[in-house]
Structures are given as C-alpha cells and as structure tokens.
Copies of this chain bind each other. A is one copy, B any other.
Amino acid sequence: MSEHVVVIGAVALGPKAACRFKRIRQDAKVTLIDRDEIFSYGGCGIPYFVSGDVSDANQLRTTAFHMVRDEPFFHDIKGVDVLSGTEATKIDRAKKQVHIKNLKSGAESVLDYDQLVIATGATPRKLNLPGEELENVFYVGNMHDAEKIKQGITKGKYAKAVVVGAGFIGLEMAEAFADMWGIETTVVEIFDQILPRMCSPVLAKMGQNHMEEQGVAFKLGQTVASIEGNGKVEKVVTSDGEVEADIVIVSAGVIPNDKLARECGLDCSERGGILVDESMRTSDSAIFSGGDCVIIKNAVDGSPMFLPMGSMANRQGRVIGSNLAGHSETFPPAAGSWVVKIFERAMSGTGMSLGAARQAGFDAISVLLIMADRAHFYPEKDMMTLEMVVDKATRRVLGLQGYSAGGDAMVGRINAVAALMKFQPKIEDISNLEVPYSPPFASAMDVLNAIANMADNAISGMNHGHGPDTFAEYWANRESGKFCFLDVRESADAEPFLKKYPEYWHNIPQGEIPKRYEELPKDKKLVLVCNTGGRSYEAQVMLDALGFEEVHNTQGGMAVIKAYGVDI
C-alpha cells in the first residue's frame, strides 16, 4: 500500500503542505481534513471582501487562474482527497490513527496515517464578557463570519460600528466600514496606542491621526466592560464611557488551536501553541505542525514567538511538504515582518519595535527619519517616515518600522531589513546596503541608508535629539522658561511661527549660526527645529562645537511634528 499522509486543517498551511508533498510523491495518498465546508481560502483577504474591494467571497478561494479550490479541484488538479465538514476528534499516536467525525451525519471513523500534519490554525480570542453572545457581535475567524458581516452591511443594517482591538484586522475592518460603507466607526483598544508592540507610540499616533482624519474614532487605553443590547447589540460599555453600536467586531487576537496536539501528548507551550523544531516537526517525529497553531523562534533574540500570519503558514507548509517527502529543509527564525494598509497610508515593520526590544532586555534606542522615498527632485514622490531600533552596545539593528503614503516603496525598504534579520545585521550593513538606484525609485543616499547613518550618529553621540513626542512635552512646558525653541530654517519658513509665538520661537538660519550664535542663551535647553530634521542635526553639530551644552535637535522636524499632531 502507498504511504498515507493525513493533514488536519485545510485553510493555508494544510493545503500547501499536502500539495507540495503530493507533487514530490505522486505515488502517495494524501487526505486533507477540515471541519468546514469552505476551506483553502485567503483569510487575510476578509477585510477587503467586507469593504467590497473583493466583490465575491469566492475570489478568496480561487486560484490565480480563477478555479475555486473545492473538493473536485483538490482531487483532479492536486491529487489530494479532501474530507470537508469532518472533525478530527483524537490522534492515537501509538496506532498512528486519527479519529474523525462527519459533522453532518455524525458518523465516526478512523484514518490510518504514516505521517500526520496538524494545521489546526487559531481561533479568535473571546472577550468573555456579558453581551458577547448578542446578535451582530462578530469575530473575523472564517468565511462564514465574513459572509454574515458583509450581508448585513450590504442590506444597510449597520450605521454604527465598534471594533474591539487596534491590531491589523481591527484597523483593516475599521477602514472597510468607514471608507467604503460610511459607517460611523469607533475602535476600542486596551493599550494606549494602535498596533501595540508592533511599532512605537510615535508612529502609531501618526497612523491614528490619519485614520481619524478619515473619520474613524479611537478609544485607546480602555477596556471593554460589557456589550449591551436587547437581543441585538446596541452599545459597548468601556472603562471610560459607552459607544453606541449596531455591529461589534471583536478582533482581540487569536489563540492557537493546540487541543488535539496537547491531548495526544505532543509538547506544547504553557502559554499555548504546539512546539516544533526547525524542520517543523513536533515532539513526535511522524507529526509535523505549522501555521497559526505553533510556536516558532524569534530571529532577533531567539525567544519563543507566536506569529499567526498567512504568509508564515504558506512558507512553512512548503517546508513541511518537502520534509514529509524525506527532504531535510529547515524554516528560519522569524523576523516578525508586517504591513497594514490604513486608508491612504501604510504602516510596516520588521524585527522589534523600541518597546519590544527594551522589554526583551536590549539597551536599545531608536531614531526617526522622514525623507522622500526617491530622488527629492523627482516630481512624483512620497515622504516616508522610518524608525530604526538599534542596540547601543553591539550596534545591532533590532528592527525597522515605518509610515508612508507610498506603501510599496516603504515595504520595499522593510523587505531589505527583513531579509537580513536572521543574520543579525549591524548598522553598517544598512548604511551601505546597495538598494537599486535611479531617481524615479530611490535616492542616491537612500532613505534606508540614511536612517542607518542616523542611528550610527545617534549611537556615537554625534546626533542627539528627540522625536515629536518629547518635542510636544517641551512645547507644552514652553512657559517654564527652560527651553529655547530655535528654528534653523531660512527666515521665510520660520516667519509664521515667529509671528504666532514671538516669545517662544527663535530663528537663526543654520548657515548664520557661526555669526549669530551669541544671540542664544547658554542656560536653556536649545530645542532645534527644521523641516525634516536634517538641518537641525547640522546646526546641533555646530552648536556642540561652539560649546553649547544642551542642544537637542527634533528628529523628523516640522513634518513629523505635524503628522504626530502637536498643537502648534
């Protein structure tokens, strides 16, 4: 009899592993099991289906050549048998059997396997709160949720939405509601920033401001106390008030589905998730696992990491498929790359944010740069804000995050650093990174090189400054008399501020500093500002050399101060 591989779970990793294995081993038998009747779909596309960008739910289940990935597709095209609507209830490792149950008929049976893949994915985290069971409270867990949400929207059932959780899916769903359907949308988040842990509060605020401009409201640093309504949801009560809602989306993260694995004695993490080695093998050598139900290793510090992303699942699926066929492929530690589109902007990152790095024990700093994403003289361009996180002692680059209107261009820079993450790159690896150059696509000294140069200067102490958050603090305390706000741009640029704040705002164009520095107080913190932070850095270097002791340039300058939302 030919070898039999059984794969439990048929959304992303399962089908990939099954098909890859079958392509290598045409003689083997592969059975793919899923509880659902709808499987092998792009779950990350759900917000775009809800928004209407993707018009038909089936598009998330079709191949690039427009075939729906259903049972006949897998049978005829891939040579893989699918048992849909079928639950795996138990794994008997000693007998190498999976107990299954047909969810329609209730019939139970047993499948023998030679090798097994557990691709059970994850389940949306419930809030376990009163009212969570009300009508029109949804999770974004599968295609059925998606269809129900979309049906209600297209029927005009919802005027007010609350999204719980400001992670990727929460923000994408908020955009879908507000942008395409004009639904009054509020996002509630327990942390005091959007995309917590993913990026710094500064970048998060820039993203939040953009979403607010597009009509999305935020309630940050608030927990949900209860969801209320009479049969249907009517409002969400938070720790700080209440918000009317006729639809609620709970997107508070996901929990790995490790029950089957745990019950059959496979090694699992105490905090949830199946443990696998670098070949994606569980503690039973005949059983592989990957995707949203496993714990992998973080490339930055080697710590355990839960990274439920469709892309991880697909790539791991191929490795498992190969290894089922006797190859010895390995899956590398995870960089933790991400990107999210928010209206006309994108946010993206790889590695650790400053907060995450410090929490992991690094003595880390970050620098913030805003710069054109191609030659500044090229007519079509966007300003890209990047934040680089570096370890002071070792000069290692621990992460890079960004915010820009030019999403592809920004992701392109993040790609380069993502590629390096497992090699534990140093600052100089990015300073001299050879991105392709031509004015329509990059700068001669590209934004990616420039942020690394800035990190280099910050670590050496040559560049000492602060972001817009600290500027905002100083500015709020401008009446304390402790600060001298020095605008080093040409006078025409500084003039509006000189007029508005004659007592606080000062202007010496950078080139006049050598002649005019004696005008400046020596007993105050000099807070330097220019358009984007370049000239204020050069002015700071000059003033340092002239013996001023408290010189601080504002990274990102007025451009970032504005995007961050300082009231000035």
Contacts and interface: CB of A to CB of B under 8 A. Distances in A.
Interface of A: 12, 16, 23-24, 26-27, 42, 44-45, 48, 53-54, 59-60, 62-65, 67, 73, 76-79, 168, 172, 309-315, 318-319, 329-332, 334-341, 346, 348-350, 371-372, 375-379, 406-409, 411-421, 423, 428-429, 431-446, 448-449, 453, 462, 489-490, 510-512, 514, 530-532, 534-535, 538, 541-542, 545
List 5 tightest A-B contacts by C-beta distance, closest first: A412-B412, A76-B511, A311-B437, A339-B436, A408-B408
A545 B27 contact: yes
Contacts of A16: 445
Contact of A444 (B311, B340, B406, B490): B311
A22 to B, nearest CB: 9
A315 B432 contact: yes
Nearest to A59: B377
6 contacts: A24-B462, A48-B439, A311-B445, A314-B449, A318-B453, A334-B434
Contact of A437 (B44, B76, B318): B44
A445 B317 CA distance: 10
A405 B169 CA distance: 29
A431 B318 contact: yes
A184 B253 CA distance: 59
Contacts of A65: 489, 530-532, 534-535
A312 B437 CA distance: 9
A335 B434 contact: yes
Nearest to A445: B314
Given A76-B511, A416-B416, A538-B23, A437 B54 contact: no
Contact of A26 (B336, B437, B489, B545): B545
A440 B314 contact: no
Nearest to A446: B311
Contacts of A462: 23-24
A375 B48 CA distance: 11
A54 B377 contact: yes
A348 B390 CA distance: 30
Given A42-B444, A434-B311, A545-B27, A53 B534 contact: no
B407 A441 contact: yes
Contacts of A23: 462, 538, 541
Given A27-B545, A419-B429, 13 more contacts: A45-B378, A65-B530, A65-B535, A77-B511, A309-B437, A311-B437, A311-B444, A314-B444, A318-B453, A332-B434, A346-B441, A415-B433, A415-B448
Contacts of A446: 311
A536 to B, nearest CB: 11
Given A416-B418, A462-B24, A439 B377 contact: no
Contacts of A377: 42, 45, 48, 54, 59-60, 62
A59 B376 CA distance: 9
B338 A436 contact: yes
A438 B168 contact: yes
Contacts of A42: 375, 377, 439, 444
A203 B419 CA distance: 25
Given A378-B45, A416-B419, A441 B411 contact: yes
